[in-house]
Amino acid sequence: MLEAVKLEPLRELLAPFGLELHLLAPDAPIPGSYWGEPEAGLIGFNLYARPDTPLHSLLHEAGHSIVAPNARRALIHTDASDSDLEENAACYLQILLSERLPGCDRERAFADMDAWGYSFRLGSTKAWFLHDADDAIAYLGERGLLLT
């Protein structure tokens, strides 16, 4: 949940990608949320979340914006994915982004994604990330988005 995350490092993580975080009141509707509240929303370069929004949800929506072709980024409203490949790249990138936040890491991202219900051929997020994400790695690499 975002309430457990320091917001300034999160905003600093998102800023180089042109993304702005809008933290909403606990009971506010979340604009641009594909799955509904409390999941994060994405409209253009704006990410919307409440204190009860899961961190993995916010990072996933950020990942969608980051991996989308520049011409489409500003036009995204709620449904950000253009293909299975883009979805995989957003999943992979959200894990990489999680490692750049204090108190977060891959293992937390794997656990959060599994708990939410992400489904991968190998049965877990970690197995997918380590052994079945070649397409996502190639997509991110071609765009210079493999964060190290």
Which residues form the domain of 8? 2-142
Q: Is residue 147 one of the residues assigned to a domain?
A: no
Structure tokens at 112: 């959060």
Q: Is residue 27 one of the residues assigned to a domain?
A: yes
Mean per-residue pLDDT, 79-105? 92
Higher pLDDT, 21 or 3: 21
Q: Is residue 148 one of the residues assigned to a domain?
A: no
pLDDT on residue 33: 97
Q: Is residue 88 one of the residues assigned to a domain?
A: yes
CA distance 76 to 17: 15
Q: What is the DSSP letter of 97?
A: H
Q: Is residue 81 one of the residues assigned to a domain?
A: yes
Q: Note whether 98 and 109 are within 8 A (CB).
A: yes
pLDDT band at residue 3, thresholds of 50, 70 and 90?
low
- For 6-33, the pLDDT digits (tens) are 889 999 999 999 999 999 999 999 999 9
- For 41-90, the pLDDT digits (tens) are 999 999 999 999 999 999 999 999 999 988 899 999 998 887 999 999 99
Residue 138, sorted as left (phi over 0), alpha (psi -120 to 50) or beta, turns out to be: alpha
Task: Indicate the pTM of the whole model.
Answer: 0.93
Domain count, the chain: 1
Burial of 91 (0-12, 13-18, 19+ CB in 10 A): buried
Given CA atoms 108, 104, 3, 18 in this order, what sign does their dihedral have?
Answer: negative
